[in-house]
Amino acid sequence: MPKQSIADIDVAGKRVLMRVDFNVPLDESGTVTDDRRVRMALPSIKSVIDRGGRLILMSHLGRPKSGEDNSKFSLKPAADCLSRLLGQPVSFASDTVGDDASKKVGELADGGVVVLENLRFNDGEKQGDADFAAQLAEFGDAYCNDAFGTCHRKDASMVAVPEAMQGKPRVVGFLVQKEIQYLAEAIASPKRPFVAILGGAKVSDKIKVIRNLLTICDQVLIGGAMAYTFSLAQGGKVGGSLVEEDKVELAKELIDAGGSKLILPTDTHCGDAFSSDCNKQVVRAGEIPDGFEGLDIGPETARHYSELVAAAGTVVWNGPMGVFEMPPFDAGTRAVAQSIADSHAVSIIGGGDSAAAIAQLGFADQVSHVSTGGGASLAMLEGQSFAAVDLLDDA
């Protein structure tokens, strides 16, 4: 069901409470090392301030723990980053629903922006607490969800806050709109062949995605460490590779269910230690010697996967093929990324590691869409719907 967007509502002189996903990586000194999530929220942010709205931004950052020193999870660096990108001052509240937040929200002028401190500094956020939500809801005349990366969560700011704001406009932002459009359309009416490439360490993270995509895609290509669990399921030898022993039965089921659609690596690049300068060899999949561990798909697999991508009409990629941050075990991920960049297919890159890989390799602008959501894009590929979006106003 299409939703009302921020463009559809009148914001001049109004306080717009916008949930964004400013859960960005920070370095030791507290500097934002990848500002993509902030940049991707700019269209919605500008839409409000350019029309004279008063913007209150709220987000979480990381997973702070109650009772510990959580200063490294402050949203201040993200607020500074936003100020730089906007070229205008951005006010920052040192709490989320306390005195400083109330004061800074009260001081907002038309076209002004305040960022509230990390929502997860309050236990009520993860608990979906109604009192906490009611305090946040007080700040806004309208609610906007532009936090695609968090849309699979039911945290207070995502669900209880818009619930508490019933009767006021509750809309999606441009980023949420765009992400859902790409991912939903790819799944609903893909140009075929539709090829999914799934990597990463654990089968357990990707079971539901593999199951769902096997019913939609023409081919599902498997890489990353989860390939070794599949190898075990086929009776292969995996040496010291990372595997999930307790997921072997499940891997067998997926192999049976997938038939010829589920494509596993035929060779493996392995090493005798988890380091760039270990002793290396390329072996047949399922023949990893003792003392060695699989660290990447082999060159034959990389070639085969690249050919399948070249022939595809739609490609969805989530999860690296190997240890891409540790050359030469980046070769498989690099080959897949290159073939996606070269192809004319509609190409969608899941967030998290695959988004980082595509950016690091310099291909980000040669694909159709790079998602800002890791878990959220996986949830969409699993066919889940989002309560945080469903409850917003229909268009």
Kindly identify the residues of this chain, within the stretch 3-22, that bind ligand 3PG according to CB under 6 A: 21
Residue 120 is a catalytic residue: no
If one asks whether residue 150 binds ligand 3PG (CB under 6 A), the answer comes out as: yes
Residue 352 is a catalytic residue: yes
Helices (H), 165-236: 174-188, 203-216, 226-233
Q: Which residues contact 216 (CB under 8 A, 6 or more apart)?
A: 187, 190, 194
Partners of residue 346 on adjacent β-strands: 314
User: Interface with ligand 3PG by CB under 6 A: which range of 107-115, 145-153, 245-253, 294-302?
Assistant: 145-153
142 neighbors 115 (Cβ within 8 angstroms): no
Total binding residues toward ligand 3PG, as defined by CB under 6 A: 8
Q: Which is nearer to ligand 3PG, 239 or 374 (CB)?
A: 374
- Name which of Mg ion, ligand 3PG, none residue 296 binds, using a CB cut-off of 5 to 8 Å depending on partner kind: none
Give the separation between CA 297 and CA 245, rounded to whole angstroms.
20
If one asks whether residue 293 binds ligand 3PG (CB under 6 A), the answer comes out as: no
If one asks whether residue 149 binds ligand 3PG (CB under 6 A), the answer comes out as: yes
If one asks whether residue 350 binds ligand 3PG (CB under 6 A), the answer comes out as: no
Q: Which is nearer to ligand 3PG, 151 or 345 (CB)?
A: 151
Residue 30 is a catalytic residue: no
Strand, helix or coil for residue 283: strand
If one asks whether residue 258 binds ligand 3PG (CB under 6 A), the answer comes out as: no
Q: State both tokens at 128.
A: 């979906």
Go through the chain and tell me how many residues it has. 395
Residue 249 DSSP one-character state: H
User: Interface with ligand 3PG by CB under 6 A: which range of 147-155, 195-203, 234-242, 280-288?
Assistant: 147-155
- Name which of ligand 3PG, Mg ion, none residue 192 binds, using a CB cut-off of 5 to 8 Å depending on partner kind: none
CA 65 to chain centre: 22
322 neighbors 329 (Cβ within 8 angstroms): yes
> Does the N-terminal peptide bond of residue 193 adopt cis geometry, omega within 30 degrees of 0?
yes
Give the separation between CA 305 and CA 291, rounded to whole angstroms.
28
If one asks whether residue 62 binds Mg ion (CB under 5 A), the answer comes out as: no
Kindly identify the residues of this chain, within the stretch 48-67, that bind ligand 3PG according to CB under 6 A: 63
Q: Which is nearer to ligand 3PG, 34 or 110 (CB)?
A: 34
If one asks whether residue 375 binds ligand 3PG (CB under 6 A), the answer comes out as: yes
Minimum distance of ligand 3PG from residue 375's CB (angstroms): 5
User: Interface with ligand 3PG by CB under 6 A: which range of 25-33, 148-156, 256-264, 378-386?
Assistant: 148-156
Kindly identify the residues of this chain, within the stretch 350-379, that bind Mg ion according to CB under 5 A: 375
Cα-Cα-Cα-Cα dihedral sign, residues 275, 278, 284, 290: negative
Q: State both tokens at 18.
A: 């916008």
Of 23, 157, 231, 347, which one interacts with ligand 3PG (CB under 6 A)? 23
Give the separation between CA 356 and CA 362, rounded to whole angstroms.
10
Give the separation between CA 357 and CA 308, rounded to whole angstroms.
20
Strand, helix or coil for residue 239: coil
Residue 54 is a catalytic residue: no
Other CB atoms within a 10 A radius of the CB of residue 88 amount to: 12
Residue bearing tokens 């699993």: 382
Q: Which is nearer to ligand 3PG, 97 or 119 (CB)?
A: 119
Binding site for ligand 3PG (CB under 6 A): 21, 23, 63, 149-150, 153, 374-375
- Tell me the catalytic residues: 37, 202, 352, 375
Binding site for Mg ion (CB under 5 A): 375
